[in-house]
Chain A
Amino acid sequence: MSTQPLRELLESAFPDATELDVTDRTGGGDHFQVVVTSPSLAGLSLVEQHRRVYEALSAPLADGTIHELRIKTKGAA
């Protein structure tokens, strides 16, 4: 899988994101790193912030498209 479908899922989940990045860490299309900075994450614990990312990517996580996911989130703009 390319990074584009994941980026689209994140963009619809975090329409107000000030930073949104998806990288394929290994080039194999299954190890991804996502970076999301969004005001909608402000005030949430890291666990809750990461949960929002997992929810946005629940389909590719469930069907095994994403084998490994690294997440970096920030609440501020």
Chain B
Amino acid sequence: MSYTDKIREVIDGSDVAIFMKGTPQFAMCGNSDRALSALRRAGAPVTAVDVLPDPQIRQDLSAISGWPTIPQVFVKGELVGGADIVEELEQSGELEQTLRAKLGEGYAEARAEDTVNLVAA
């Protein structure tokens, strides 16, 4: 089965989506943890998808995004990048600027972490 529709739904329907190995509570990869930590420092509301339950999730995601590695971070449907970019943008302050511009000034007040399970959904 294809996860394409479900993945698009998460990308387009989330303020900030992260596709990662593991969950926000228990990241299974250093890079996923780096990206998530940068998002947390920026106060981003995060919707997380664990790609590990089915390898097909990762294949379908990369087909949509054209990005070969995990994690992948999207803000309002647009690919921001992987761990290196998200970390770099957070350190320069650009990540917070982008979040304010796209989500509104008070974005950090709505801060929450959701996890979407594509396999069970």
Q: List the interface of chain A (C-beta within 8 A of B).
A: 46-47, 50-51, 54, 58, 61-62, 68-72
Q: Which of B31, B82, B89 has the most CB of A within 10 A?
A: B82
Q: Is the interface of A mostly helix, strand, loop or mixed?
A: helix
B79 part of interface (Cβ distance < 8 Å): yes
Q: CB distance B69 to A69 under 8 Å? A: yes
B66 part of interface (Cβ distance < 8 Å): yes
Closest to B86 in A: A46
Q: List the interface of chain B (C-beta within 8 A of A).
A: 30-31, 66-69, 79-85, 88-89
**Which residues of the partner chain A approach B68 to less than 8 Å between Cβ atoms?**
54, 58, 61-62
Closest to B79 in A: A47
Whole-angstrom distance between the alpha carbons of A54 and B68 in the complex?
7
**Which residues of the partner chain B approach A47 to less than 8 Å between Cβ atoms?**
79-81, 85
In the complex, besides A46-B88, A54-B67, A70-B84, 15 extra interface pairs with C-beta distance below 8 angstroms are A46-B85, A47-B80, A50-B81, A50-B82, A50-B84, A54-B69, A58-B68, A61-B68, A61-B69, A62-B68, A69-B69, A71-B82, A71-B84, A72-B84, A72-B88
Q: 16 pairs across A/B with beta carbons < 8 Å?
A: A46-B85, A46-B89, A50-B81, A50-B82, A50-B85, A51-B67, A54-B68, A58-B68, A61-B68, A62-B68, A68-B30, A69-B69, A70-B83, A71-B82, A71-B84, A72-B84
Whole-angstrom distance between the alpha carbons of A69 and B69 in the complex?
8
Q: CB distance A51 to B66 under 8 Å? A: yes
